[in-house]
Amino acid sequence: MAGDIAAGKARAADSCVACHGPAGISILPHYPNLAGQKAEYLEKSLRAFRDGSRVDETMNAMAARLSDQDITDLAAYFASLR
């Protein structure tokens, strides 16, 4: 499944950017930067947050709303940023 960068950007605007920043550079020190991160790692992280194998109250709630396609698109989008 190929990630759609434009779709990922639109999906990110909903919620991700509030903590991770509009360009994937996070605003607060305990949130990771996502810009330029490996797409495969981002996908793995989102799936782990969604299935609960990685525990973080905020991210578990966020990821619960994501489809497989959303995850692939978001990973492609953040990986595409500098």
**Please, what is the minimum distance in Å from the beta carbon of residue 72 to a copy of itself?**
13
* Residue 26 in contact with a copy of itself, rule: CB under 8 A: yes
Choose the stretch contacting a copy of itself; rule: CB under 8 A; options: 3-11, 49-57, 64-72.
Answer: 49-57
Gap between the Cα atoms of 54 and 50, Å rounded: 8
**Please, what is the minimum distance in Å from the beta carbon of residue 18 to a copy of itself?**
16
* Residue 31 in contact with a copy of itself, rule: CB under 8 A: yes
Q: Under a CB-based contact definition with an 8 Å cutoff, are residues 11 and 73 in contact?
A: yes
- Calculate the alpha carbon distances from 62 to 22, 23, 56, 82 in Å: 17, 18, 10, 24
Task: Please report the sign of the dihedral spanned by the C-alpha atoms of residue 63, residue 27, residue 35, residue 53.
Answer: negative
* Residue 55 in contact with a copy of itself, rule: CB under 8 A: yes
* Residue 60 in contact with a copy of itself, rule: CB under 8 A: no
